[in-house]
Structure 1
């Protein structure tokens, strides 16, 4: 068998999949949580060993049939990494150096790499970066209008995230439609607890909603998305919120949670349906922001062939899909209610027959995308 082990090492979790690449089938998968918490798994090295022990106990054995590569999700590649990269000591130094741009993610990603290298020193480790797909953004799309020297000194620009998902989904869209990738203009809406939009022209990312960090852009479960930066100055001056308070506000106490007290879209939709005004407002703000990006990216692309929903909310919430595109019929964009509300969970079309713009639901598969990218460099 030719297998790739995909590892997604978070700050307190380790998620993994073993994929057989000739059939692209998942042989095993798992999630280890509460890493570093008292009485739980000590650290990422212990979590990785626990994963190995599980494989040895339940199969398939990784020692008897080692993978051809181990692929690691790394959130931030900055301006240094534009594709899958075999991990070397220098690569690890760069990942660590970029940790100030993703302090919650890159250090944990690096711990997963170190743990894997300790157990499998002779197997290639490959870093696949969330930011890499957006390396094609033009200067006009990635530049913030602040002092240029200051921006350069502190590496301030739009980087974008969810790149492995946007790449996988845009390519799957071409396959589903039977069209060549380079002929398609696609808007991908990755809607989970974290959410981002991406304008893809011929398989190339030309704009995306997340920026220097994953806070910018769409309304999310607990993140604010777009906000006037002067709001933070006002809260600092008038509300006496310090920088840690503001960071906590934007990342963990805003979005759907901040507006309604509920961070899960299922709870928000349910409460809105029961007449909860705060939940209804949260849903309205969420949909308003989504529609804003659909319109903006339609203009940037010079027209759109397909709008694609993916990730937890995008794949499962019919009310969100319908609400995000309501009223866009004059742009050739509409949703068929029966198709949208069907129980099908696979790749599917939810726009009416003959619609000028295809509206699709394409389940994402970031682990498979990481595994595929590993094989291109080992």
Structure 2
């Protein structure tokens, strides 16, 4: 199964209005097929595979997936051994990837209230794949699972006990698939056993989180019950005094839910500067735009503060890893964060940091007490590997 087309996995990533597809070889990382459905659930839904764009009659996740798979070449389809699904929130129940059965699917439906914008589309993707590819086993890989190794002191909130015991109010963390991948690669780059390393991984995209990974296990992270907690993000505020919700609900004459929606969708970099895209923000800051400069400073300061705080969970720091669209591409963000962390022993190599590359690499100065790495993430590859391993184990 390990070579050729016979061990490939179809990876499905369903968002609220998108479906991303890729056929992945778990051994080589090769992707002979990829597709994207956009504006799912609206009359403007479209499915793009290669240079072909089609409009599905059924604009649901199931309909979009069916249309995308019609473009799947027979030789690629015949080599599939499983379908792997990214599920954002697995709650406390799912601590690792699992093969989907009726019980798992029922439990997933029960988790939709924890992250309705994320879990419900993931469940729809599983249901769609079961309908379109009923003979293939389905595997779910959870963003929260990697963080289930956090100790209680890290995942508990200081709230009434029954909030936790009866309502599941605790910190779960997200981006776990990415943190898991890049920390494993970091060990390879450093040529050290993962079990010996104290790492902080910073996944920086439209959503951002950092994780403390001790000897290969997540021991703390910045996101909490939902992806709103933690770092400043593209449209999310990150950490904020919870009393702000009541205060602004009263001042604006809206519900608490509407304020939370504003904290998720109209805040962060967008709220401070009017820009949610880091490339636009950096260009505006360079041109002298004061709100853009402030947003950039807020972003870097909050990230550096959280990285420093996460070292408490590690007892020190061997390496800081940047990943995600911003982490991999913004030389300015990396440089500023390294400046802010100089007191921890971080020493940047300006030349190495300025290089743009798709390869995993070190950007800290030679002899720096703390290594700084840039590692492109590959969540699809993790999902494919987990799916094939579980299918093999099930057999």
Using the size of structure 1 for normalisation, the TM-score is 0.96
Match of 1:249? 262
Alpha-carbon deviation of 1:45? Answer: 1.2
Q: 2:124 aligns with which of 111, 120, 134?
A: 111
RMSD: 1.2
**How many Å separate the matches in 2 of 1:178 and 1:66?**
34
Aligned pairs for 1:179-258 (under 5 A) are 179-258=192-271
1:74-223 matches, within 5 Å, as: 74-223=87-236
List aligned pairs for 1:44-63, cutoff 5 A: 44-56=61-73, 60-62=75-77
Which deviations, in whole Å up to 9, do the C-alpha atoms of 1:285-316 show, x marking residues without a partner? 11110011111012221111110000000000
Distance 2:138 2:323 in 1: 28
Q: Quote the Cα distance in structure 1 between the aligned partners of 2:222 and 2:324.
A: 16
TM-superposition CA deviations, 1:144-182 (whole Å, max 9, x none): 001111232211000000010000011010011111010
SS at match of 1:55: coil
Shift, 1:190, TM fit: 0.1
Work out whether 1:297 is the aligned partner of 2:302.
no
Tell me which of 307, 316, 319 is aligned to 2:332: 319
Query: Which SS does the other structure have where 2:203 is aligned?
Result: strand
Distance in 2, Cα, partners of 1:117 & 1:45: 9
Question: Shift of residue 369 of structure 1?
Answer: 0.6
Q: How far off is 1:344 after superposition?
A: 2.3
Taking the TM superposition and a 5 Å limit, the aligned residue runs for 1:2-13 are 2-13=7-18
CA distance in 1, matches of 2:114, 2:220: 19
- Partners of 1:235 and 1:343 lie apart in 2 by 42
> What is the CA-CA distance between 1:219 and the residue it aligns to?
0.3
> Which of 323, 334, 343 matches 1:310?
323
SS of 2:109's partner is helix
Task: Tell me, yes or no, if the aligned pair for 2:10 and 2:84 is still in contact at 8 Å.
Answer: yes
Q: Give the Cα–Cα distance (whole angstroms) in 1 for the partners of residues 328 and 379 of structure 2.
A: 14
Determine the C-alpha separation between the residues in 1 that align with 2:181 and 2:105.
Answer: 25
Q: Distance in 2 between matches of 1:212 and 1:330?
A: 31
Question: Does the aligned pair in 1 maintain the 2:85–2:126 contact within 8 Å?
Answer: yes
Asked whether the 8 Å contact 2:304–2:340 carries over to 1, the reply is no
How far apart, in 1, do the equivalents of 2:22 and 2:390 lie? 19
Partner SS for 1:32: strand
CA distances 1:185-213 after superposition (whole Å, capped 9, x unpaired): 00000000000000000000000000000
**Distance in structure 2 (CA, Å) of the matches to 1:263 and 1:87:** 36
The separation in 2 between residues aligned to 1:17 and 1:132, in whole angstroms, is 22
Equivalent in 20, 24, 27 of residue 19 of structure 1: 24
Selected match of 1:271 from 284, 290, 303: 284
Matched position secondary structure for 1:249: helix
Cα distance in 1 for residues equivalent to 2:69 and 2:174 = 30
Secondary structure of the residue aligned to 1:100 is coil
Q: 2:36 aligns with which of 31, 36, 47?
A: 31
Q: Distance in 1 between matches of 2:63 and 2:376?
A: 32
How far apart in 2 are the matches of 1:327 and 1:145? 30
CA distance in structure 1 between the aligned counterparts of 2:207 and 2:64, rounded to whole angstroms:
25
Runs of 5+ consecutive residues of structure 2 not aligned to the other structure: 46-55
CA distance in structure 1 between the partners assigned to 2:63 and 2:19 by the alignment = 10
Whole-angstrom CA distance in 2 between matches of 1:186 and 1:264 = 27
Unmatched 5+ residue regions in structure 1? none
* In structure 2, distance between residues paired with 1:234 and 1:177: 48
Query: Counterparts of 1:196 and 1:33 in 2: how far apart (Å)?
Result: 25
Per the TM alignment, residue 66 of structure 1 is displaced from its structure 2 partner at its CA by: 4.1
Q: Could you tell me which residue of structure 1 aligns to residue 48 of structure 2? A: none
